[in-house]
Amino acid sequence: MDPKVNGQLQHDWGWQIAIYLFLGGVGGGAYTIAALNHFLGESLELSTTVGLWIAFPALLIGTLFLISDLGSPSRAFLAGMKPGTSWIARGTWIITAFMVMSFLHLVLHRFTDVGQTTGGAVVVNIIAVAGIVFAIGTMAYTGILLGASKGIPFWRSGVVPVVFVISATVTGHFAIMLGTTLFSGDASTLIGLRTMTLEAVGLVVLEVLAILFFLQEAFRFPDARESAERILRKRMFIIGYFILGLAAPLVLMLIVYRSTADGGVGGNATVVVIGALLGLMGGLILRQAVLICGALPTLNMAGFKFRRIHRPKEPKPDIGMLPPQ
Amino acid sequence: MPRYGAVIDLKRCYGCYACNMACKTANHTPPGVFWSRLLKGEVGTFPNAVRQALPVLCMHCEEPSCMEVCPTGATQKRDDGIVIVDKDKCMGCKYCIMACPYGARYSVEKWESYFPDGLPLSPLEEFQKKAWEEKSGIGVATKCDFCLDRITEGKEPACFEACPANARIFGDLDDPNSEVSILIKKERGQVLNPEFGNEPKVYYLLPR
């Protein structure tokens, strides 16, 4: 069979959706880590505060990007009408619940003393647990949304949600490290820096394994393989994601981890900031690359494989009439 | 109540694109939108290679994945089996486009001229744009509806009527005496990519 016969790239979901998926992941990841740190005690107070400050705005901005991509934004309120079958409808409810939880947690944590009272602490803890559930739901949803798309074989894999959950945790973690460092002004004041760099290393290694597994899975199916080959030919993916978005933060976090072995952490703030920024950039590039490399499946019947016709976005140049005088 | 479906005889189809043109004329689809399309496929290697034309339209599936993923309920399956989009309910999320494995759906952000270099719309294009906005809408999902307005008038869908080779047959799949039912049974009609599980209602008669 002619290997050149292939599907056509989708172009209906672009960078706005990539940012939406990215910010949804960052919000979910940052909140999960912040809420877990909330349970781990006062030594991680700063990272909890930073995580809560990141989660809600990230979700809000991400949702605005989604709405901006809608063909009829004024009907966005209909998005949750069919949660029985549609993952966008389910996601709408999950993200809405998550936004409410993250906003309540932020307000109670930063602007009230409710957490200081016994009854209030219980309420905050309940909100935190519910928030973690919806945060994980949001992270998974960003992957399931793609995984449930029957028309794009590259996305239609159970591995996609796993990759997106891990990547969301990584980006959320880097966002907290970045915020904590910037808030404190110096990494030396970052309590638990060694622990956080070690966690970052572990999470990045996990993401590398997940993305390799995802690509290996894609290579097993001809239509998905086309997309996998395409993504691996993209400089944006190889340099922007693999080298700068994964390898570089991994090395930088290892450097910070080694240099803090003797208890001294001075001078690492810049390294942490650069590493975290690169890690965040990698998360965004991953989503954009996965989106733009999604291709429609090849239609086939009785041994014939059929090309799809080109759907030009712009009319072909150099044809047609002269402009009116 | 009939259950509409179609048969496309690939032995007769010679790839003239009349179906594409008839659809564009009847539905005023803008540039880049082909509710009725023609794909070209090939099998084998030189010198034993064969080319084949494949007309494709919305398969009006029994289990439409586009309807399943639609978050607003805009995509609906009528009692006669025709899958339609309610443009007043669609919010334009384009998830149905990602969910349709047959690539039958389109979303149009702007009705642009067929002519290049930013030329203004011609009077005919102005008419087409207006007709498109009234029937299908801007920013929402659009697709073939088996020319619902023509069916209501007792006519065939435009692409079926235009086929010069009589390769396209439209009819009631539930009527055992209809031409489509007889052809599907007699000539073992097949559907595209049955592994998708959508149970399309457009059948193909294979080339010999």
Render pLDDT for B14-69 as a digit per residue (tens, 0 to 9).
989 999 999 999 999 998 899 998 887 777 778 888 888 889 999 999 999 999 99
Residues 36-95 in A contacting B (C-alpha not used; CB under 8 Å): 69-73, 75-76, 78-82, 85-89, 92
- Cβ distance B41 to A71 less than 8 Å, yes or no, reads no
Give the mean pLDDT of B157-171. Answer: 96
Higher local confidence (pLDDT), B157 or A324? B157
The shortest C-alpha distance from A272 to chain B (Å) reads 38
Check the CA dihedral A210-A213-A218-A221 and report its sign. Answer: negative
Which residues are within 8 A (CB) of A14 and not within 5 positions of it... i.e. 6 or more apart? A69, A291, A292
The first and second tokens of residue A25, run together, are: 């992941």
Which residues in chain B have their CB less than 8 angstroms from residue A297's CB? 101, 193, 196
Task: List B85's β-bridge partners, or say none.
Answer: B75
Residue B40 sits at the chain A interface (C-beta within 8 Å)? yes
Residue B153's pLDDT band, with cuts at 50, 70 and 90, is very high
Q: Is the pLDDT of residue A18 over 80?
A: yes
> Residues B99, B69: contact at Cβ < 8 Å?
yes
The first and second tokens of residue B69, run together, are: 């993923």
pLDDT at A267: 65
Which residues are within 8 A (CB) of B196 and not within 5 positions of it... i.e. 6 or more apart? A150, A297, B65, B101, B102
- Cβ distance A82 to B70 less than 8 Å, yes or no, reads yes
ipTM score of complex:
0.90
User: Which among B187, B165, B184, B167 has a CA at the least distance from the CA of B176?
Assistant: B184
Average pLDDT of chain B, as a whole number: 92
Give the mean pLDDT of B74-79. Answer: 96
Higher local confidence (pLDDT), A49 or B5? B5
Amino acid residing at B192: L
Give the number of beta-carbon pairs within 8 Å between A and B. 184
The first and second tokens of residue A199, run together, are: 């966690």
- Cβ distance A306 to B54 less than 8 Å, yes or no, reads yes
Compare CB distances from A307 to B39, B93, B119 and report the shortest one's residue.
B39
d(CA B134, CA B132): 5
| pLDDT tens, position by position, A226-255 | 899 999 999 999 999 999 999 999 999 998
Which residues in chain A have their CB less than 8 angstroms from residue B92's CB? 70-73, 75
The first and second tokens of residue A271, run together, are: 């390294």
Q: Is the pLDDT of residue A311 over 80?
A: no
Q: Is the pLDDT of residue A22 over 70?
A: yes
A6 Cα distance to chain centroid: 28
Residue B8 sits at the chain A interface (C-beta within 8 Å)? no
Lowest mean pLDDT among A128-142, A169-183, A186-200, B126-140: A186-200
Helix locations, B7-141, DSSP H: 18-27, 65-69, 95-99, 123-135
A255 Cα distance to chain centroid: 25
Give the mean pLDDT of A174-180. Answer: 91
The shortest C-alpha distance from B145 to chain A (Å) reads 19
A58 Cα distance to chain centroid: 11
